[in-house]
Amino acid sequence: MKKAMLVCATFAVLTASAAIHAADTTELKVKGTVRPAPCDLSLTANGEVDFGRIANSQLSDEKPVTIGIKTIQYAINCPTGATRFAIKFVDNRKSSVTAGLAGLATNNYLGDVFAFGLGKYDGKNIGVYFLSTSNATTSRFVGGDGRVQNATLYHTGSSNGGKTWQTSDSSSQIDLYNDTNQWKSWTGSSGQPPLAIYSLSGSLTIRVVIEKIRNLPTGNDIPLDGSTTLEMLYL
């Protein structure tokens, strides 16, 4: 269920015309959608990650190059009550991902399934970036015993719409797939579904890889144009 879903209610009363055969019963249909408690998702610096000016000397004419890694903080707060939710990552520049580029880059161990697009310039793909996230280091949630707790939460993921969940190792940095079928959430122990959360925070790391110089347009500054939407799904 998406956060954008609205509450609506519809009443339909079916009545029989007196001019036709009257029925002894009729049906009243009551419909609607109960919206979960809304939560707020925020990123430091309004979610803008600036790698500054990148000199040609940092790039290569022979292979793609990892030019930098930056980290920002995320925070989720549910002010009206503990809520179970997941997040999916939607790449708004997915068409600019060059197949095979990820595996050719120096200082990079990730494949195409993890690559997010950096946009196009003059019809050419600029490069890719990779997202990874830490466990939620500060969190307030409802535990399995129904009591409110404060502790580190671990990432859990689902690839089937929340039917089953797989929890990461407690010490892991989780690499995020560029796949909207992959949902991320948080839990307290392996194999358990996401917990109802009041608040949590953690870090999101961005690793940028730029194409070979010979595959890029020349003569002008080339702006990096990565854009990913973090969409909350209420469970």
**Per-residue pLDDT reduced to its tens digit, 179-206:** 999 999 998 877 778 999 999 999 999 9
Of 175 and 17, more confident: 175
HEC states along the chain? CECCCCCCEEEEECCCCCCCCCCCCCCEEEEECCCCCCCEEEEHHHHCCCCCCCCHHHCCCCCCEEEEEEEEEEEEECCCCCECEEEEEEECCHHHCCCCHHHHCECCCCCHHHCEECCEECCEECEEEEEEECCECEEEEECCCCCEEECCEEEEEECCCCCCCEECCCCCCEECCCCCCCEEEEECCCCCCCCEEEEEEEEEEEEEEECCHHHCCCCCCCCCCCCEEEEEEEC
Q: Which of 59-63, 116-120, 163-167 has the highest mean pLDDT?
A: 116-120
Q: Inform me whether the pLDDT recorded for 122 exceeds 80.
A: yes
Q: What percent of the chain has pLDDT over 70?
A: 85
Q: Inform me whether the pLDDT recorded for 71 exceeds 80.
A: yes
Mean pLDDT score, 209-214: 92
Domains in the chain, CATH or no CATH each: 38-234 (2.60.40.1090)
pLDDT band, very low/low/confident/very high, at 113 (cuts 50, 70, 90): very high
Q: What is the pLDDT of residue 34?
A: 65
